[in-house]
Amino acid sequence: MLNLLRASCMVLSFTLLVASAGIVQADNGGTHASDEANKFWQQGKTLWEQLEFRKAKKPFLEAGPYIQSDSDEIINLSREIVGGEKNSWEAARKINAWVYENIDRRFTPDLSNALQTLHSRQGDCGEYTALTVALMRAAGIPTRPVTGMVYYPPGDGFGYHAWIEAFVGDWIMMDSSWGEDIVNPTHIALARGDLLEQIRIINRVLGKIDIEVLEAR
């Protein structure tokens, strides 16, 4: 069973960082931490801790080859989904639900990026993850892909899977391909961060992991 990893940090950045205290729309179409959120995260934090936080969260707001969170299509859709929601957790739930409800679950032999998934409206867990991460980053929510293993009831066993982890005051794992706002306890994370690096890690352990279920409740 996997316990959710939690990290309590403060949010301060010019670039679209979000705290659970709330998010507000920015002039550039993205979002940024509200004054209330900034005050919450600054409390009791040294300048060094603030700078370290900015550095640590920045990669999880950036666009990439597979996560085009800077695309106008992604930004506009993210804004449409989030609407006037000012709470980052509720905004993350809205994005998670939209991807689950609007992308058809279908196996794809190759990993499609966020824009390709948005256009085709289909894919498996990798495509769901890429699009969800892009939409959340466009909304100003620090988000990272996660790969690992999960119990798959139809197969009566564990299989490799991908999902996301969003920072909404704490790091919370969510699964848009299964419609879970908080992942079920059988999600076992093996790698986080850059998608290509995750693939390399998974390839090294592929076929080398044995899982024995001792007790289920």
Look at residue 174 and tell me whether its pLDDT is greater than 80: yes
What is the pLDDT averaged over residues 190-210? 65
How confident is the model over 154-173, as pLDDT tens digits? 767 777 789 999 988 888 99
Q: Who has greater pLDDT, 109 or 146?
A: 146
92 within some domain: yes
Question: 10 lies in a domain?
Answer: no
Label residue 32 by pLDDT band (50, 70, 90). very low
pLDDT at 179 over 70: yes
On whether residue 141 sits in a domain, the answer given is yes
Give a yes or no: residue 180 inside a domain.
Answer: yes
Average pLDDT over residues 194-216: 62
Q: Per the domain annotation, does 133 fall within a domain? A: yes
Task: Give the pLDDT band (50/70/90) at residue 188.
Answer: confident
The pLDDT-based confidence of 115 (bands split at 50, 70, 90) is very high
pLDDT > 90: what percent of the chain? 38
- CATH number for position 92: 3.10.620.30
User: Token digits for 128?
Assistant: 């769901």
Q: For residue 144, is it within any domain?
A: yes
Residue range 166-190: mean pLDDT, rounded:
90
Q: How confident is the model at residue 212 (pLDDT cuts 50, 70, 90)?
A: low
Q: How many domains does the chain have?
A: 1
Quick one: what percent of the chain has pLDDT higher than 70? Answer: 62
Is residue 162 in some structural domain?
yes
- The residue that leads in pLDDT, 83 or 48, is 83
Strand partners, 172: 166
* More confident site: 11 or 168: 168
* Look-up of token digits 């899977």: 161
Query: How much is the pLDDT for 217?
Result: 63
pLDDT at 26 over 90: no
Report pLDDT for 35.
35
Residue 53 domain-assigned (yes or no): yes
Q: How far apart are CA 165 and CA 132, in angstroms?
A: 10
Q: Among 144, 15, 41, 52, which residue's Cα sits nearest to residue 92?
A: 144
The range of the structural domain enclosing residue 46 comes to 23-205
Average the pLDDT over 200-213 and give the result.
61
| Confidence at residue 36, expressed as pLDDT on a 0 to 100 scale | 35
**Mean pLDDT, rounded, of the chain:** 74
pLDDT tops 50 at residue 55: yes
Query: Taking residues 27-52, what's their average pLDDT?
Result: 47
pTM over 0.85: no
